[in-house]
A and B are shown apart, each in its own frame.
Chain A
Amino acid sequence: MANMNIYELKEKKPYLDYLRLDKLPHIWCPGCGHGIVMKALIEAFYNLKLDKNKLSVVSGIGCSSRLPGYIDANTLHTTHGRALAFATGVKLANPELTVVTVTGDGDCAAIGGNHWIHAARRNIDITVILMNNNIYGMTGGQASPTTPEGAIATTAPYGSIEPNFDTCELAKAAGASFVARTTVYHYKQLIDLIEKGIKHKGLSFIEVISPCPIHYGRKNKLGLKGLYDYLKTNFIPIKAWDKLPEEKKAGKFPIGLLYHDDSREEYCEKYEKLIEKLSQN
């Protein structure tokens, strides 16, 4: 298998059909989690048998946002923070399309924060995958809204003095009707949550912790193993989390489907109903 080229591999791994193989190798650094997210994403697409012609993957700017270029679909690499605003236009203009946005912690939670909370409020049928690496990777390791307090970044050389967002709590509070968290270490769960998120009618928010060994890991002297061990030990499946005594929860996070509500109507469907109603008058 080692000598097999990727085109031959496609026969054995049919989900590779969702990649633009000629655009590989990707730009991500060694040890970065983003490639794992991409593989989980195409496996989910494959499992759901999504029609590539009716699939749109939208991103903003940053490491995460290079992902759509590798996906064989209608792909849109937009401006910093604006993926969800562009995606809202795409989805509302053509609700037949399955729309997935991939974004990063800076792109989604800092510069794109407004579009994010309002897309959640509208409950528009878009799946948002936030690839959280706790840092601005592409610009060289600056602090982001998810950089933990005390962690070192190029713009926080003495340790960040800002508290960080819990993006799942924020998405839920803003109105997202499907909120999940996992990590690239929990690969099967990652595929499963992406599938569920895409199937869910309404805004699905999935935070995926995806380590950045080059900028975050190196600055904070965590090492590749340290970064992945952290995912293994500090991210607790929701059922176990619920049983965990409060004092043991510090520094740890629940993973899995944290919240979902199927009773809320989806935005585009509401708009179609309005059109239908007006056409009858």
Chain B
Amino acid sequence: MGKVYLEFGNHACAKAAIRAGCRFYAGYPITPSSEIAEKMAELLPKVGGKFIQMEDEIGSMAAAIGASLAGLKSMTATSGPGFSLKQENLGYAYMTETPVVVVNVQRQGPSTGLPTQPAQGDVMQSRWGTHGDYQAIVFSPSSVQEVYEETIRAFNWAERLRQPVILLIDETIGHMRERLAEPENVEIWNRKKPSLPPEKHLAYKPEEDDVPAIPNFGEGYRFHVTGLHHGYDGFPTTDPKLVQEFMERIQRKVLRHKDELLKYEEYMLDDADILIVAYGSVARSAKYAIKEARKKGIKVGLFRPITLWPSPEEKIYELAKNMKCVLVPEMNMGQYVLEVERAVKGASEVHRINKACGELIYPDEILRFLDKFSPLTV
């Protein structure tokens, strides 16, 4: 095991980014994510990387994409309002297949909302925020340790599939100090290189894995990048066949790795007849509530998706179909519950606890719901 110490969530994110090979950060100050930018400003020049505080959120997203095209692993971090501002250029990264990691340390919205109290209100925005169709990859850590691990995983998948990966952190986790054990060895993936010489290479021609080997600027492959629909050569096209093929491919390149992308925790599910689906900081309250409920004889367990998107819908269905009911507590007015309902397909009742007032969901609130199912009351 590597170094073990007390670490702050947002700093763990910055350190893990450097460890993953991130060498470019562009950002704009916004609470509760600013500590990521501050840490990157300190660390990046020490490892020969570049940090820039841009003039706005839109520019930060743009600069991170530009730097990635020039060959550096790139990142930006923000929070609610900033995440909204980044959406257009986030779509540009999906369209141009540019690897980039976007961290959103969520706060209570809509709009300026409650700066800066916790919320999980950006779950659907992280999936559908920019216009058009794409497959979002979104990870939601629920501890400082997991922030570290998921940041590295985010970079790996961004580079491998050449698209944005979003790290959706709750304010609670970003601003928490907790034990961090830096792993001794981490697996690092890098974007693939073209195998053909420049005169034969087509920048946007997909390879066997549905991912094109897009070169970096300055490496001798002169090519064109555009947010317009484009053919294999990267130049604009309106050919319906090529456009449809592209649209199908950018979904497929993610979904074909779904099993590998999905990461989750199952907690006390073996004999459970009540299923809680919770993620991020709420999963911590859920675990506490489960321990208490079990003392009363309530057979309840937790399914905690770490990969929110693509969603573990098959897994949720398999678990839910044998349950008396499913409970989805969330710090929003009901977002991931919609996905859970879709996954469950009516095989079980789905209940929700929604709190969107800047307060955490406390274990007691989950317990009160579970008490209704206690052997003493049923």
A23 CB contacts on chain B under 8 angstroms: 235
Q: Closest residue of chain A to B52, judged by CB?
A: A92
Known: A69-B235, A69-B236. A76 touches B66 (CB 8 A): yes
B44–chain A nearest beta-carbon distance, Å: 9
Point out the residue from B23, B74, B225 that lies within 8 Å of A76, measured CB to CB: B225
Assembly CA distance A274 to B47 (angstroms):
11
Secondary structure of the B contact surface, majority rule: mixed
A186 close to B (CB within 8 Å): no
Count how many chain A residues have C-beta atoms less than 8 Å from C-beta atoms of the other chain.
38
B108 close to A (CB within 8 Å): no
Judge whether A75 and B224 touch: CB under 8 Å.
Answer: yes
Point out the residue from B50, B55, B89, B236 that lies within 8 Å of A93, measured CB to CB: B50
Interface segment among B214-222, B272-280, B288-296, B325-333: the answer is: B214-222
Q: Enumerate A53-106 residues with CB–CB distance to B below 8 Å.
A: 53-54, 56, 58, 68-69, 72-79, 82, 85-94, 96-97
Known: A271-B50, A275-B45. A78 touches B62 (CB 8 A): yes
Judge whether A87 and B55 touch: CB under 8 Å.
Answer: no
A272–chain B nearest beta-carbon distance, Å: 9
Known: A69-B235, A90-B67, A115-B59. A79 touches B89 (CB 8 A): yes
A88–chain B nearest beta-carbon distance, Å: 5
Point out the residue from A54, A74, A87, A278 that lies within 8 Å of B46, measured CB to CB: A278
A77 CB contacts on chain B under 8 angstroms: 224-228
B55 CB contacts on chain A under 8 angstroms: 85, 114-115, 117-118
A93 CB contacts on chain B under 8 angstroms: 23-24, 50, 66-68, 70-72, 74
A117–chain B nearest beta-carbon distance, Å: 8
- What are 5 A-to-B residue pairs whose CB atoms are below 8 Å? A75-B225, A89-B62, A89-B65, A92-B24, A93-B50
Q: Closest residue of chain A to B62, judged by CB?
A: A85
Judge whether A94 and B74 touch: CB under 8 Å.
Answer: no
Judge whether A85 and B222 touch: CB under 8 Å.
Answer: no
A83–chain B nearest beta-carbon distance, Å: 9
Judge whether A92 and B48 touch: CB under 8 Å.
Answer: no
Query: 8 smallest A-B Cβ distances: which pairs?
Result: A89-B66, A89-B63, A85-B62, A93-B67, A85-B59, A93-B70, A89-B67, A118-B55
Judge whether A82 and B89 touch: CB under 8 Å.
Answer: yes
Q: Closest residue of chain B to A81, judged by CB?
A: B58
B268 close to A (CB within 8 Å): no
A75 CB contacts on chain B under 8 angstroms: 222-225
Assembly CA distance A90 to B55 (angstroms):
16
A219 close to B (CB within 8 Å): no
Judge whether A94 and B70 touch: CB under 8 Å.
Answer: yes
Q: Closest residue of chain B to A76, judged by CB?
A: B225
Q: Enumerate A108-137 residues with CB–CB distance to B below 8 Å.
A: 114-115, 117-118
Known: A76-B66, A93-B24, A96-B218. A85 touches B50 (CB 8 A): no
Assembly CA distance A76 to B93 (angstroms):
12
B26 close to A (CB within 8 Å): yes
Point out the residue from B62, B67, B219 that lies within 8 Å of A79, measured CB to CB: B62
Mask: chain B, 197-228; 1 = CB below 8 Å from A; 0 = not: 00000000000000000000111101111111
Q: Which of A52, A58, A79 has the most CB of B within 10 A?
A: A79
B239–chain A nearest beta-carbon distance, Å: 16
Assembly CA distance A82 to B62 (angstroms):
7
Assembly CA distance A208 to B39 (angstroms):
42
B133 close to A (CB within 8 Å): no
A118 CB contacts on chain B under 8 angstroms: 54-55, 59
A275 CB contacts on chain B under 8 angstroms: 45, 48
Judge whether B45 and A92 touch: CB under 8 Å.
Answer: no
Judge whether B222 and A53 touch: CB under 8 Å.
Answer: yes
Judge whether B26 and A271 touch: CB under 8 Å.
Answer: no
Known: A77-B228, A96-B218, A118-B59. A89 touches B24 (CB 8 A): yes
B155 close to A (CB within 8 Å): no
